[in-house]
Amino acid sequence: MSLAGAVAVALAMVSTASAATTTTWTTDQTINSPTTLPGEPDVQLRISAGATATVTNGGTLTLTMVGTGATGIGYSTAGTLAIEGTGQVVANLGMFYVGQNGGTGLLQMTSGSFAKNGGYFVVNRGSVSGTLDISGGTFTYTKASSNDYFALGFGANDVAKMKVTGSAATITLDDLQTKGNSTLEFVLDNSTNHITTINSKSVVFTASTANVIDMGLLGFTPTQGQVFNLVTVTGTGTLSTFANLALAGDDVGVWQLGTSTDNKTLTATYLVPEPATMGLLGLGLVGMVLRRRRSR
């Protein structure tokens, strides 16, 4: 083979290695065995047209995204990635979007594990909405370089939500940022700890976007003054942007946001008296009214 021919072959190999192969799922998928998509190590996966990909017992979905590789859950239309049982998803490098290019994305995790190693993890990039919904399992995001980040929203107009229900999950992040109109929803259940605390090495609530904390209850009523830890900074920084947060409208007067004394943990304190206390207060008021009527 001539030198020119050898160079041409080498260039072709480089070109092939750097080009992502696109796999599009528009029908429901069940992943219950180790799965590697065509195009690894530079894969591009899109879940759309209302399809749900469920990674369940025995299933491991590995996505390596370098170069032009990206995963779009809800690309252009609706799409869902569900992790249950002992299912595992490992996403290496590249970009991972929950909601992309005008679609509606949902990543729903009830157990199992999800690990994003390097690159970007973005809930909603230019879509109708994106939601990360975690009620169990282990969710991990690890940065590979200083340019990597985990973000709710990509642009200021992106609507993004991260929902945490109960205390059965473990959430460990190297980074947490709000870049769009973001909601952190916490639904407390009747378990011992009531809610999973999001642990992140750094936390930035951007002032130029709407950042809402939405509190919910599931089979549990707190006592008056009870405090819950929502987000904790595990790195060297603090919650210096705590002022850029607001409660959802129906939580105003019911909850109060605050921070720990070291300014590393975002807390929510329940203000409304428990039902039994409210009942006694109501009986007291009725008694006062009756006494006034009798005196007249």
pLDDT of residue 233: 97
Q: Calculate the average pLDDT of the chain.
A: 89
| pLDDT, position 291 | 53
pLDDT of residue 294: 55
pTM for the predicted model, two decimal places = 0.87
> Is residue 91 a contact partner of residue 120, using CB atoms and an 8 Å limit?
no
Q: Is pLDDT above 60 for 143? A: yes
Order the strands of the 149-152 sheet from edge to edge: 21-25, 43-47, 70-75, 95-100, 120-125, 149-152, 176-178, 203-205
> pLDDT at position 277, please?
44
Which whole number is the average pLDDT over 261-275? 89
* Structure confidence at residue 209 (pLDDT): 82
The string of pLDDT tens digits covering residues 208-217 is 888 999 999 9
d(CA 192, CA 189): 9
